[in-house]
């Protein structure tokens, strides 16, 4: 990833040298040409083309914002009910992420999403213990998290 | 309506949303029964409300005075990163010092794990 970005910057620099035009516009056009060249040479790199990575990061951020708004709406709805109908509980969820930062990002996302809060992470990073505010159906909650977040994070960390 | 009026309407709606949200999350702190459900109210709704108010302040100074304050944007990012970690740490500390869940909680799978761990750590 970093290697590809460095090569792209270097191409933009070479483009500026070749044109003898030291302006920002010339840097941008050189960078765009570098992106095109890297796209055609993507088979030679061991990692994937880095714009795919940028796309998945942007997608993760958008999912995050959407879930934040939904979660605030749900919490407000529960609070404003005349009688509390919530059934809280703690459930365990197995995750399939290896690296530490992925587990951190996943638990931050879970904490900011509808009615769930990470209480503990098991020492071997395999299980999250999640407190849910309203828990009629554990399997549905797990499925929901897995569909929305875990896949998006795996997509980001795929090389 | 000219552009200034429209933008001031939008900004005031965002400020109003943020302050109503933070009021409701304060109600949640009073109404909800135990520490875990309270930290739900404290982390989610109030994060969004602080974000709304900061965004509105940013827009107000950007539209009205042409002042693009990068510090407000940084503040949004920092609130975004630190609020869930704070909620997680408070509830984790509460759980491990033995604060019990609300009476009508329906399940607690972390307790089963702790009970299983305790004999093995002693032996």
Q: What is the pLDDT of residues B9-60, one digit of tens each?
A: 889 999 998 998 888 888 888 887 788 888 888 887 788 888 889 999 998 8
Residue B112 has pLDDT above 70, yes or no: no
How many Cβ atoms from other residues are within 10 Å of residue B103's Cβ?
7
Bigger pLDDT: B103 or B59? B59
Residue B69 has pLDDT above 50, yes or no: yes
Residue A30 sits in the same domain as residue A93? no
Residue A23 sits in the same domain as residue A59? no
Residue A34 sits in the same domain as residue A55? no
Residue A39 sits in the same domain as residue A63? no
**Tokens, residue B18:** 């943020």
Q: Can you give the pLDDT at residue B15?
A: 92
Determine contact, residues A89/B108, Cβ cutoff 8 Å: yes
- Reported confidence tier of residue A148, pLDDT bands at 50, 70, 90: confident
Q: Encode A22-37 in three state secondary structure.
A: CCHHHHHHHHHHHHHH
Residue A31 sits in the same domain as residue A77? no
Contacts of B104 in chain A (CB under 8 A): 87-88
Between chain A and chain B, how many beta carbons pairs sit less than 8 Å apart?
109
Residue A38 sits in the same domain as residue A54? no
Residue A75 sits in the same domain as residue A57? yes
Residue A37 sits in the same domain as residue A56? no
Smallest CA–CA separation between B14 and chain A, in Å?
Answer: 13
Q: Which residues of B touch A (CB under 8 A)?
A: 21, 24-25, 27-28, 31-34, 36-37, 39-41, 43-45, 47-49, 81, 83-85, 87-88, 91-92, 95-96, 101-102, 104-111, 113
Of A75, A111, A133, the CB nearest to B87: A111
- Reported confidence tier of residue A141, pLDDT bands at 50, 70, 90: low
Our count of domains for chain A comes to 2
Measured distance CA(A33)–CA(A137) in Å, rounded: 52
In this complex, do B106 and A76 lie within 8 Å of one another by their Cβ atoms?
no
Mean pLDDT of A31-41: 88
In this complex, do A75 and B39 lie within 8 Å of one another by their Cβ atoms?
no
**% of chain B with per-residue pLDDT over 90:** 8
Residue A129 sits in the same domain as residue A104? yes
Q: Can you give the pLDDT at residue B107?
A: 65
The dihedral region occupied by A20, where left means phi > 0, alpha psi between -120 and 50, and beta the remainder, is left
Residue A95 sits in the same domain as residue A111? yes
Residue A63 sits in the same domain as residue A12? no
- Reported confidence tier of residue A46, pLDDT bands at 50, 70, 90: confident
The residue range of the domain holding A18 is 1-44
Determine contact, residues A97/A106, Cβ cutoff 8 Å: yes
Q: Can you give the pLDDT at residue B77?
A: 87
Among A45-49, A52-56, B51-55, the range scoring the smallest mean pLDDT is A45-49
In this complex, do A88 and B34 lie within 8 Å of one another by their Cβ atoms?
yes
**ipTM for the whole complex:** 0.71
Q: Which of A51-55, A120-124, A133-137, B48-52 has the highest mean pLDDT?
A: B48-52
Residue A33 sits in the same domain as residue A93? no
């Amino acid at each position: 990833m970093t290697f590809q970005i460095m090569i792209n910057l270097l191409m933009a620099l070479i483009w500026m040298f070749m044109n003898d035009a030291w302006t920002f516009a010339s840097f941008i056009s050189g960078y765009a040409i570098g992106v095109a060249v890297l796209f055609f040479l993507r088979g030679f790199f061991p990692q994937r083309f880095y714009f795919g990575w940028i796309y998945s990061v942007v997608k993760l951020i958008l999912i995050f914002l959407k879930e934040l708004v939904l979660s605030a709406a749900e919490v407000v709805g529960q609070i404003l009910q005349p009688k509390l109908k919530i059934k809280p509980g703690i459930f365990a969820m197995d995750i399939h992420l290896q690296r530490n930062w992925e587990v951190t990002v996943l638990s931050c996302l879970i904490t900011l999403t509808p009615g769930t809060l990470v209480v503990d992470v098991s020492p071997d990073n395999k299980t999250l213990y999640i407190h849910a505010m309203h828990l009629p159906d554990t399997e549905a909650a797990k499925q929901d998290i897995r569909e929305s977040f875990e896949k998006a994070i795996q997509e980001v960390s795929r090389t | 309506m000219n552009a200034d009026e429209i933008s001031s309407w939008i900004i005031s709606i965002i400020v109003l949303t943020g302050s109503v949200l933070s009021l409701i999350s304060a109600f949640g702190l009073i109404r909800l029964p135990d520490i875990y459900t309270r930290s739900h109210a404290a982390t989610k709704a109030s994060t969004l409300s602080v974000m709304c108010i900061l965004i509105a302040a940013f827009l107000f100074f950007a539209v009205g005075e042409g002042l693009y304050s990068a510090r407000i944007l940084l503040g949004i990012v920092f609130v975004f990163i630190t609020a869930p970690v704070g909620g997680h740490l408070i509830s984790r500390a509460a759980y491990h010092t033995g604060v019990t869940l609300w009476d009508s909680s329906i399940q607690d799978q972390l307790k089963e794990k702790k009970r299983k761990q305790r004999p093995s750590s002693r032996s």
